[in-house]
Amino acid sequence: MALNGMEIYKMLPKKNCKECGFPTCLAFAMKLAQGGTQAEKCPYMSDEAKDKLAEATAPPMKTVTFGIGDRAYSLGGENVLFRHEKTFVNKPRFAVMFDDGENADDVAKKINHINAVNYTRISEEMYVEIAAFRCSSQDKQKFISLIKKVTSDCKKVVPMIISEDPDIASAAAEEFAALGPIIYGANEKNCEAMAGIASKHKLLLGVKAEDQAKLYDTVQKIQSMGFRELLLDGGGRSLKTAFDDAVNIRRTALLSKDRTFGYPTVAFVCDMTRDKMMEVAMAALFIEKYASIIVLSDMDYSMALPLFSLRQNIYTDPQRPMRIEQGIYRIGQADEKSPLLVTVDFALTYFIVSGEVERAKVPSWILIPDAGGYSVLTAWASGKLNAKSIAKAIKDFEVEGKLKTRELIIPGKVAVLKSDIEDELPGWKVIVGTREAAALPAFLKEYRQEKAS
């Protein structure tokens, strides 16, 4: 719970020595209560007071990490239940499940899919971050050799080692410690041993229980051992119970402000259905609410395209407009005589416009000037999209050298810019395009026909 200034003041040494940079201990305490300074600034505070303060000022949900180097990821640390309240912080990561009882063909197929799904969408690299391994053979060697195979074939994945047998978990953790794996499988009975393994190798520990109440007790037990790098699983394996777990663990942390559940959660979608398309539906739900690791049985392009896009959307900071890079974009097999359109650098607008141009099947160029990251009308109204910014883009991206066309199609909503642009760009003709992107295919087809005749 948060402390007020007087409560903090009582814990200070009251020396008024000014070393913290404040005239008195009381002034320091007041500032600290507002979060305007850090407790470490006072060198004379007792350890006990420091711990109390750290506890009081810690965020409601812990940020934990797994992986290493450029494959280190943060989970949790969320402050809100809805993105418009502030923003979501750490996006969920996708895992593909492997089982050491699975046949070699299935393993090979999943490895191929993981390696194939690797692309960039609006400056974000999309790939499967985690390979989860279930030890159903109870054979340590078999288990370890599967993990070895997959992690050496799929260079990007971080392993998630799933076993409730501390002996097996420990052997696998030892073997793959350098990859920063997740150890999953602490329960009521084995949690002491499992926490020992995780703490020895500094790994993230997955905790599992039959239901939320039992999970709560187990987490308290682990916390009392001083270990706090946790990932929670309330045990639900039907969509309904797993959704209940995800929502209520998150609400316990953020609404009840109870840090026992102040950790990220994992959803084993692969255990809830055998149908790939049902996995897509369920994963979509858990991206919005509120899983931090989503384990699927596979990840081919048909699953990846919607799920990575959804994740990207939901984890976009609502305060910041999504922008795409300025430049000249080629759509289809456009050549130097193909139509040239201009629109804004607001990513949503660009995606809609480029999608419609693709649909038109008229190869074209799209010029993106600096428009402040706004939609067409907002960019124009705020003065970001004007004749000068468009002319500058034509020059900066050497359009006159690259293309033979001297006609520029502008959005219908900013038809008023036509003569200004023609003044700025001698030798160019401005064509007023459509008001809505949906009308572009018909417009472009007609435009191309007119050009041809």
Partner 1 sequence: MAYKKPSQKFSGKIREVTVGSGLKLGGESVLPFYKFDGDTGAKPAVGMEIWDVFPESWPQSLKDIFGEYADDPVKWAKFCMEKYNPDFICIRFEGANPEGEDRSPEECARTAERLAGEVPVPLMIAGCDSDEKNAKIFVKIAEALPDKNYVFLSAVEANYKEVGAACGMAYGNIVSAESSVDLNLAKQLNILITQLGVKPEKMVMNPGCAAVGYGFEYVITTMDRIKLAALDQNDATLQMPIVSPVSFETWKVKESAASEEDMPEWGSQEERGIAMEIATAAGVLAAGSNAVILRHPKSVEIIRNFIDELL
Q: Angle 212-224/239-254 helices, nearest 10 degrees?
A: 50
d(CA 90, CA 102) in angstroms, rounded, equals 32
Nearest to 99 by CA among 295, 300, 301, 307: 295
- Using DSSP, state whether 381 is helix, strand or coil: helix
Strands 364-368, 293-296: pairing kind? unpaired
28 binds, among ligand SF4, partner 1, none (CB under 5 to 8 A by kind): ligand SF4
Which residues in the 98-117 window bind ligand SF4 by CB under 6 A? none
13 binds, among ligand SF4, partner 1, none (CB under 5 to 8 A by kind): ligand SF4
Which positions from 123 to 152 touch partner 1 by CB under 8 A, shown as an x/- string? ------------------------------
Least distance CB 208 / partner 1 (angstroms): 15
Strands 118-121, 158-162: pairing kind? unpaired
Nearer to ligand SF4, 24 or 309 (CB): 24
Q: Does 95 bind ligand SF4 (CB under 6 A)?
A: no
Judge contact between 263 and 76, C-beta under 8 A. yes
Judge contact between 385 and 373, C-beta under 8 A. no
Least distance CB 73 / partner 1 (angstroms): 21
Phi and psi torsions of 262, nearest 5°: -85, 55
Which positions from 16 to 35 touch ligand SF4 by CB under 6 A, shown as an x/- string? xxxxx-x--x--x-------
Beta bridge partners of 132: 97, 160
Judge contact between 134 and 100, C-beta under 8 A. yes
Which residues in the 80-119 window bind partner 1 by CB under 8 A? 82-84, 116
Which positions from 351 to 380 touch partner 1 by CB under 8 A, shown as an x/- string? xx--x--xx---------------------
Q: Angle 166-176/191-201 helices, nearest 10 degrees?
A: 10
Strands (E), 63-162: 63-66, 73-76, 93-99, 118-121, 124-127, 130-134, 158-162
- Using DSSP, state whether 229 is helix, strand or coil: coil
Which positions from 259 to 298 touch ligand SF4 by CB under 6 A, shown as an x/- string? ----------------------------------------
Chain position carrying tokens 């392993």: 159
Helix (H) or strand (E) holding 8: helix 5-11
Least distance CB 20 / ligand SF4 (angstroms): 3
Least distance CB 111 / partner 1 (angstroms): 16
Which residues in the 257-296 window bind partner 1 by CB under 8 A? 258, 260, 275, 277-278, 280-285, 287-289
Nearer to partner 1, 40 or 217 (CB): 217
d(CA 205, CA 381) in angstroms, rounded, equals 52
Task: Please give the residue ranges that form the binding site for ligand SF4 (CB under 6 A).
Answer: 12-13, 15-20, 22, 25, 28, 42, 44
Q: What is the binding site for partner 1 (CB under 8 A)?
A: 82-84, 116, 121, 212-213, 215-217, 220, 238-240, 243-244, 247-248, 251-252, 255-256, 258, 260, 275, 277-278, 280-285, 287-289, 300-303, 305-307, 309-310, 312-314, 316, 318, 348, 351-352, 355, 358-359, 436, 438-439, 442
